[in-house]
Structures are given as C-alpha cells and as structure tokens.
C-alpha cells in the first residue's frame, strides 16, 4: 500500500480535508500516515456491518448500528450504542475495538464525505 499511496500522492496532495475510507483491515491504515500525515483514515460502515453479519452472525442490530454510525450528535450516538450494548455485548465490544472514531460520523476527526471514489486502483 505504501507504493500505491506514494504514486497517488503525486496527483493528490496531503490535506487535512482528505479522508481515506477503507475496510477494517489495517493494511491501508498502517501505511497511510507514512505518506499522508494530514489525511484521516476511516472505516467503511458497509464493510463494518458486513463483518458484524458474517463474523458475529447478527442481522437484527444492523439497522441500529447503521443509524448510530450516521448520527450527527454525540448524545444520539450514545443512546443508540447503549441499545446495542443492551442487546449484544459481543457486538458492542467488536464495534468499540474497531475504533468508533473511524466509523461514527459524530466522532470522526476528518472530513468524511464529499467526493466518493471506490477502488481507485
């Protein structure tokens, strides 16, 4: 990933408003700060929800988790996550370990949405 990011850096310069959103795999996240020190790294909620379904075999909380991920206010996010915790502590643990600052809109430190591109490689 480092080589790819260096090639990308030739045409897209580092900026605080730049965010890279990927699956939960840390390969991009580990290399991103080497090339893009100012950019943010986030986790794609679609991939995160698919992992909840496939690894934890939970479908009934997906809507609640998706709603929590899109919450603008911290209080709304916390209420929704409390509901997730009450229902399935293992799911809540997985989501917290995935780093909520990377997938929850209200906690993301960067500029998450503007131009969307998938699979630029």
pLDDT at 118: 56
**Is residue 29 pLDDT above 80, yes or no?**
yes
Nearest-angstrom CA–CA distance, 9 and 114:
19
> 66: buried, middle or exposed (CB in 10 Å: 19+, 13-18, 0-12)?
middle
Q: Is 120 helix (H, G, I), strand (E, B) or coil?
A: coil
Q: What is the pLDDT of residues 4-18, one digit of tens each?
A: 999 999 999 999 989
Q: Which two tokens stand for residue 37?
A: 């020190």
pLDDT at 110: 79
Residue 41, number of CB atoms within 10 A of its CB? 22
**Considering the entire predicted model, what is its pTM?**
0.82
């Amino acid at each position: 990933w480092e080589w790819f990011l260096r090639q990308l850096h030739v045409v897209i310069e580092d900026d605080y408003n730049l965010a890279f959103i990927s699956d939960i795999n840390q390969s991009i996240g580990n290399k991103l700060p080497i090339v893009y020190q100012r950019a943010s790294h986030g986790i794609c909620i679609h991939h995160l929800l698919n992992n909840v379904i496939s690894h934890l075999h939970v479908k009934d909380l997906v809507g609640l988790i998706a709603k929590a991920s899109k919450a603008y206010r911290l209080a709304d996010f916390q209420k929704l996550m409390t509901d997730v915790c009450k229902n399935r502590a293992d799911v809540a643990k997985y989501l917290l370990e995935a780093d909520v600052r990377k997938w929850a809109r209200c906690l993301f430190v960067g500029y998450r949405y503007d131009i969307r591109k998938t699979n630029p490689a």
